[in-house]
Amino acid sequence: MIITQRVEQNIDVVEISGRLLMADVEEARNSLKAIIQEGSGTLVLDLSQLSFIDSSGCGVLISALKSIRAREGRIGLCALTRNVRALLELTRVIELFSVFASTEAAMSAFSRQPQ
């Protein structure tokens, strides 16, 4: 698992690539928590390069959601791969998030909405 972060238009964009498994949970949770605490309050998780996620990885996404909501911020998932989307739908985790087809679509939507 690799996590990269950039800021565009005052929006934190985080790309998670590889596989998000139980072995990665602590690192992923800590990285996202730090980004949320130091960030703009708007977070887009680009999952286009995430090939697999297990239930522990779903927990990381939910943890990020709780952290951003505690800051009264916003979070969106974008560019879900078929396998990742299938698991998020099966577990109904997808219902907790705004989901966008692309990073650009997420950034456009969040740019139009006041925080």
Question: How far apart, in whole angstroms, are the C-alpha atoms of residue 62 and residue 67?
Answer: 9
Tens place of pLDDT for every residue, the chain, 115 residues?
999 999 999 999 999 999 999 999 999 999 999 999 999 999 999 999 999 999 999 999 999 999 999 999 999 999 999 999 999 999 999 999 999 999 999 999 998 876 5
Sorted by where each starts, the structural domains of the chain and their CATH numbers stand as: 2-109 (3.30.750.24)
Q: Which of 5, 10, 69 is nearest to 35 (CA)?
A: 5
pTM of the predicted protein model: 0.94
- 3-state class of 66 per DSSP? helix
Task: Identify whether the C-beta of residue 36 lies closer than 8 Å to the C-beta of residue 3.
Answer: no
State the CB neighbour count (10 A cutoff) for residue 101: 10
Q: Which residue has the tokens 């950039």?
A: 6
State the CB neighbour count (10 A cutoff) for residue 1: 20
